[in-house]
């Protein structure tokens, strides 16, 4: 079983390489335009890599984006496996990450509260 540090390094490598593939256009699926990888977690057995994605467009396109990743997952996995040397490469699972949307909502709420306090003063 790999150490937590090794798992983190593998996950970081997957995140970096996948982000580069998206930015450089190696994945030519138009559904993946404006997408970014927020996090990658690899389980202790190296069976699965959970990849969390988000988009500038928000949740409206989440199903379309996840479908695009599922469609390209075989290609992505083979490219990642050629770059990251492991005995067996983990299967890729894609999930929508709502964290950026939640953070934006919280920022708007804080801004509205500070605007109210400024008008009250």
Banded pLDDT at 121 (limits 50, 70, 90): low
Is there a contact between 76 and 27 (Cβ–Cβ < 8 Å)?
yes
**Span 41-64, pLDDT tens digits:** 999 999 999 999 999 888 888 999
Is there a contact between 77 and 93 (Cβ–Cβ < 8 Å)?
no
- Give 94's strand partners: 51
pTM reported for the whole predicted model = 0.84
The CA-to-CA distance between both ends of the chain, in Å, stands at 60
Strand-strand pairing, 48-55 and 91-96 = parallel
**Span 6-44, pLDDT tens digits:** 999 999 999 999 999 999 999 988 999 889 999 999 999
């Amino acid at each position: 079983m790999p150490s937590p540090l090794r798992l983190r390094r593998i996950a970081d490598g997957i995140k970096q390489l996948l982000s580069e593939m998206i930015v450089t256009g190696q994945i030519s699926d138009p559904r993946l335009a404006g997408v970014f990888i927020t996090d990658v977690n690899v389980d202790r057995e190296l069976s699965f890599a959970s990849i969390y994605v988000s988009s500038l467009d928000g949740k409206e396109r989440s199903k379309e984006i996840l479908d695009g990743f599922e469609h390209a997952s075989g290609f992505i996995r083979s490219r990642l496996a050629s770059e990251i040397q492991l005995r067996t490469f983990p299967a890729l699972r894609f999930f929508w990450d709502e964290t950026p949307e939640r953070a934006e909502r919280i920022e708007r709420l804080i801004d509205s509260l500070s605007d109210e306090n400024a008008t009250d003063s």
